[in-house]
Structure 1
Amino acid sequence: MTEEQTERPADGPRRRDAAATRESLLSAARQLIARDGAGAVSTRDVAAAAGANQALVYRYFGSKEALLIEALAQTEPDRTIADTPLADLPHTLLRRALDPDTPAEVRASSMATLVAGAGTDVVRTIARDRIHAGYTTQLAERLGGEDAALRAELVAALITGINALRTQIGTTAIAAADIDVLATYVDRMAAALLNPPGPTD
């Protein structure tokens, strides 16, 4: 037996294959979530998209819910809210949400995608946690002033609602509108939310 054979675990290739299959299932789940929404994703569809046996979903994740949680939890943290100048934030968020070239990993965890699948407790919890972390906490801290958390969540509602009407429902005017036109209106609507309200008489 050679030194290389002695040092290499007997199940090394098997472990690598298992890791690759597991990542393939996660990637397939993200693609399907981005396309159909989390509520519509089934373990059968995920397995078929990954070219794997459905039983492997339960072997590696235990349940559909655990697969969804891990698929969404592994997406890269979104620094848009933290790093974008406030004046540019509304149209930046809108363009990011509506851009068809946005990677599936990002679209899978977008607010509109999560809200669309919020008929299940798991997805509803994920959506609420994402909104709390990104808007209720992070954006609210940047906004300051009266009702900062409420104003931040209203920004989330504005972007999410437009995204849902355009991409998931397909309403006539919003679906047909040029993104630049939408961005102009979004900036106008969001301006009142981004600036602290002045004193009332």
Structure 2
Amino acid sequence: MTTTQTPRRRDAAATRQLLLDAAVHRFTHHGYAATTVRHIADDAGVNVALISRYFRSKEGLFEACLTYSVDELNRSTEIDPPIRTAEAIARQVVGPCTRGVPHNLVLLLRTSGDEGADRIRLDLLRSYSQRLAAAAGHTGDAGLLRAQVMIAAAAGIALMRAKTDMEPLASAGEADLLVPLCDMIESLLFP
């Protein structure tokens, strides 16, 4: 008796997400220049050709990672009332984003060594700061400056937690950090 095997159906969305998660992790920890598409594909457990299929290129995948990170951060600015927005932003700073990949702000800070990729990263940071200022009800350059100062402070905290062993900051838990972070965010965005 011969059995016919049906070809395994690929779950495109799941494969794309595996690649995205692996790329965020690689780009955050090793940077754009030191990361190859083969590293990413190996980490995701898929064929390297799928990167071209889903993202066009390494730069396309990097752009998708940055967009994904900003989307995660934008979700924190869509919460009302503003006090909950401060808490949501603080939670983004405190720990890793969904599915255990490294913190979004750390990825957005890393320079890539590639002019096109860095332009994408800076454009996304500008867009996020404009959206954050608008969510806080600020208009004009003064409001945008407040949002950018808040992002810079939050990014510094995320970077210090991810890349140093400065104590007690590096090992502080969410409960330890939430109140001081909310205080900082509220004073900058909602004075």
TM over 0.5: yes
Aligned 8 A contact 1:47 1:57 in 2? yes
**Percent identity among equivalent residues?**
26
1:88 alignment partner, one of 73, 80, 84: 84
Structure 1 pair 65–36 and aligned structure 2 pair: CA distance change class (3 A): closer
Question: C-alpha distance in 2, partners of 1:71/1:145?
Answer: 29
Q: Match for 2:158 among 137, 140, 163?
A: 163
Q: Distance in 2 between matches of 1:104 and 1:178?
A: 15
Quick check: 1:165–1:175 contact (8 Å CA) kept in 2?
A: yes
Structure 1 vs Structure 2 CA RMSD: 3.3
1:53-64 pair list within 5 angstroms? 53-58=47-52, 61-64=55-58
Structure with the largest fraction of helix: 1
Give the residue type in structure 2 aligned to 1:138.
Answer: R
In the alignment, residue 174 of structure 2 is paired with which amino acid? I
**Aligned counterpart in structure 2 of residue 121 of structure 1, from 115, 118, 127:** 115
Matched residue, 1:191: 186
- Relative to structure 1, is the Cα distance of residues 179 and 23 closer, same or farther in structure 2, using a 3 angstrom cutoff? closer
1:138 aligned residue (131, 156, 165) = 131
Query: How far does the alpha carbon of each residue in 1:136-183 deviate from its partner, in whole angstroms, 9 at most, with x for none?
Result: x22222332671000011111121111111023332331022332322
Asked whether the equivalents of residues 118 and 124 of structure 1 are also in contact (C-alpha less than 8 Å), the reply is yes
Query: Higher Cα Rg: structure 1 or 2?
Result: 1
Counterpart Cα distance in 1 of 2:97 and 2:90 = 13
Residue type of the partner of 1:112?
V
1:131 is displaced (CA, Å) by 2.3
Q: Is the 8 A contact 1:25 1:47 kept in 2?
A: no
Which residue matches 1:79?
75
Give the Cα–Cα distance (whole angstroms) in 1 for the partners of residues 90 and 21 of structure 2.
21
Asked if the contact 1:94/1:183 (under 8 Å) is kept, the reply is: yes
- Residue matched to 1:150: 145
**Are residues 130 and 43 of structure 1, via their aligned partners in 2, closer, same or farther at CA, if it must alter by over 3 Å?**
same
Segment of structure 1 superposing worse, 22-31 or 90-99: 22-31
The answer to whether the 8 A contact 2:23-2:61 is kept is no
Q: Which runs of 4+ in 1 moved over 6 A?
A: none
Q: Which amino acid aligns with 2:128?
A: G
- How many residue pairs end up in the alignment? 178
**Aligned equivalent of 2:94, options 98, 123, 129:** 98
- 1:173 maps to 168
TM-score, normalization by structure 1: 0.68
Relative to 1, partners in 2 of residues 1:97 and 1:35: Cα closer, same or farther, differing over 3 Å?
farther
Unaligned residue ranges in structure 2 (runs of 5+): 1-6
User: C-alpha distance in 2, partners of 1:132/1:91?
Assistant: 22
**What is the TM-score normalised by the length of structure 2?**
0.71
3-state SS of the aligned residue for 1:103? helix
Whether the 8 Å CA contact 2:77–2:88 is kept in 1: the answer is no
Contact 2:76 2:89 in 1 (8 A): yes
Using the TM superposition, give the Cα deviation of residue 84 of structure 1 relative to its aligned residue in structure 2, in angstroms: 3.9
Asked if the contact 1:43–1:64 (Cα under 8 Å) also holds between the matched residues in 2, the reply is yes
